[in-house]
Amino acid sequence: MLNIDLHCHSNVSDGTLSPAELARRAAANGVDVWALTDHDEVGGIAEARAAAQDLGMHFVAGVEISITFAGKTVHIVGLDIDEQHPDLHGGLASVREGRVQRGHLIATQLELTGLSNVFEGALKYAENPSLIGRTHFARYLVELGVQPTVSDVFRHYLVEGKPGFVPHRWTTLQEAVSWIRAAGGRAVIAHPGRYAFDQMQFDALLSEFIALGGEGIEVVTGSHTPDQFDAYAALARRTGLLASRGSDFHGPAESRVDLGSLPHLPADLKPVWHDWQL
């Protein structure tokens, strides 16, 4: 059975490894089919593709787009995209502009707690300055000794109700799905178990996603518990959405789940790769 991992991050977004280092780690872990899905950015794809091909892995170009739905952030993964497509390219550039603006507001908020030069500090951790995100701020707060680890930072800072949280309006579900489809890709709801929606909002997300031409949901992901693997497998069966599998790996020091190390999808599900030439 092929080992397929369709979600991870390089240092072109908020991972810690370069695209080529990630490719080597995926291959060493036995991954056969691999996608790079950086947040709001496709700048790592060329390097990832070349490295994957050298290592004999089947490469899938991907992206994870930040959207706002019903007032909350949701992530939409696009798989098997033409990363050069102008609609996708332009759309992602506009999302990144919002990220930089939000970054300055996050820095200002954190400076109210007595820290200084926070934007510059976070920027040191962002290989790609246009992709500055909360993880880069979290790493800087760890450097300052404010919290011992990145995950501790995300318990006490940068999240709703805590210092450094800045509400942000990302792009819409409709735009993200349309960019992915324009680029020939398949849209997948990332880690559906992570969103704090009530049932009506979650049902609205699913029905709007399907109406817009969205095709898949992640079932087995590093962002789900084993119970959630079962719950979202059942949802895939009920809705007919295609199922995806991906570690959501961000780096050896910060990720619990390594590339290619999750359980396989339940055998009766229709996978998002069912019609790919593998």
Q: How far apart are CA 6 and CA 271, in angstroms?
A: 11
Among ligand AMP, Mn ion, none, partner that 134 touches (CB below 5 to 8 angstroms by kind): ligand AMP
List the interface residues with Mn ion, window 52-111 (CB under 5 A): 64, 75
Q: Positive or negative CA dihedral for 8, 60, 232, 30?
A: negative
Q: Is 191 in the site for ligand AMP (CB under 6 A)?
A: no
The 10 Å Cβ neighbour count of residue 90 is: 10
Q: Which residues does 12 contact at the CB level (< 8 Å), separation at least 6?
A: 19, 38, 41, 43, 44, 127, 128, 131
Q: Which is nearer to ligand AMP, 222 or 271 (CB)?
A: 222
Supply the DSSP symbol for 17: S
Please choose, from the candidates 179, 181, 190, 172, the residue with its C-alpha nearest in 3D space to the C-alpha of residue 9: 190
Q: Which is nearer to ligand AMP, 129 or 184 (CB)?
A: 129
Least distance in angstroms from the C-beta of 66 to ligand AMP: 5
Dihedral angle of Cα 26, 28, 30, 31, to the nearest 10 degrees: 20
Q: Is 214 in the site for ligand AMP (CB under 6 A)?
A: no
Render the burial of 177-205: b for 16+ CB within 10 Å, e for the rest: bbbbbebebbbbbbbbbebebeeeebeeb
Q: Is 14 in the site for ligand AMP (CB under 6 A)?
A: yes
Q: Which is nearer to ligand AMP, 104 or 274 (CB)?
A: 104
- How many residues touch ligand AMP under the rule CB under 6 A: the total is 10
Let me know: does 35 contact 7? Beta carbons within 8 Å: yes
Supply the DSSP symbol for 146: S
Among Mn ion, ligand AMP, none, partner that 47 touches (CB below 5 to 8 angstroms by kind): none
Let me know: does 39 contact 69? Beta carbons within 8 Å: no
Residue from the set 7, 25, 39, 245 that interacts with ligand AMP by CB under 6 A: 39
Q: Is 150 in the site for ligand AMP (CB under 6 A)?
A: yes
Q: Which is nearer to Mn ion, 38 or 86 (CB)?
A: 38
Please, is 278 exposed, middle or buried when counting C-beta atoms within 10 Å of its C-beta (0-12, 13-18, 19+)?
Answer: exposed
Q: Which is nearer to ligand AMP, 57 or 136 (CB)?
A: 136
Per-residue contact string for residues 14-43; x = within reach of Mn ion by CB under 5 A: x-----------------------------
Q: Is 38 in the site for ligand AMP (CB under 6 A)?
A: no
List the interface residues with Mn ion, window 138-197 (CB under 5 A): 190
Residue from the set 25, 49, 96, 134 that interacts with ligand AMP by CB under 6 A: 134
Contacts with Mn ion by CB under 5 A lie at 14, 64, 75, 190, 248
Contacts with ligand AMP by CB under 6 A lie at 14, 39, 66, 133-135, 150-151, 154, 250
